[in-house]
Amino acid sequence: MILSDITVEIRDRNLNRVGQIRPEDLNLQASIRHNNVGTWTLTLSSDHALAQLLCDPGAGIIVKGPEDVLFSGPTVGPSFKASKDDPNGTLVIEGVTDDIVLGDTLAWPEPGNTDPDNQTVTEDTRSGKAETVIHQFVYNNCGPGAPVARRRGGLVMGADGGRGPDVVKSARFHVLGTF
């Protein structure tokens, strides 16, 4: 893949796309981990039109390749660097991939019960096609089926294609992304 194959868009806290970084302004490094939380660093001139938007809480990026989204994720924090050769400085914006949602979520024994001390079952056991089971755990622990306090804003459940082997999985406060 070459640089011209990549598009980097900026998103706001509501996941709205608010701009695009032109290839000639692009200085992006990413460490993407399959089925785990990756990291990214974007360096921009501090006077770039979109630099301040990336510093807003909840902002992030969407990185697209020639056919689909490669990864996306929120900003973790910006830092400013200046020198006598570059008095206006640059912003170094660090972030993580959206996999952080599952990396920060527990699979509750009783997903609809928000009280960890009063779970009425020892574990949440689900069976079916692997993809369907994964969808069920996500839907009930941080998706639209979760109690309001545990729902992740902006999480959109994709279509369940019912793929994979038949599985039986049981969860009791496992980290959902690892589980």
End-to-end CA distance of the chain: 32
Give which of 175, 167, 151, 154 is closest to 58, Cα–Cα. 154
Task: Name, of 24-38, 42-56, 137-151, the range with top average pLDDT.
Answer: 137-151
Whole-number pLDDT of residue 111: 95
- 127 vs 27, higher pLDDT: 127
Strands (E), the chain: 7-11, 17-21, 28-31, 39-45, 60-64, 69-81, 90-96, 106-107, 124-129, 166-171, 174-175
pTM (2 decimals)?
0.77
**pLDDT 10s digits, 81-121:** 888 888 888 889 999 998 888 888 999 999 999 999 999 99
Whole-number pLDDT of residue 1: 65
Q: Which residue has the tokens 């622990």?
A: 141
Q: Please give the structure tokens belonging to residue 123.
A: 């574990």
**pLDDT 10s digits, 128-151:** 999 999 999 999 999 999 999 999
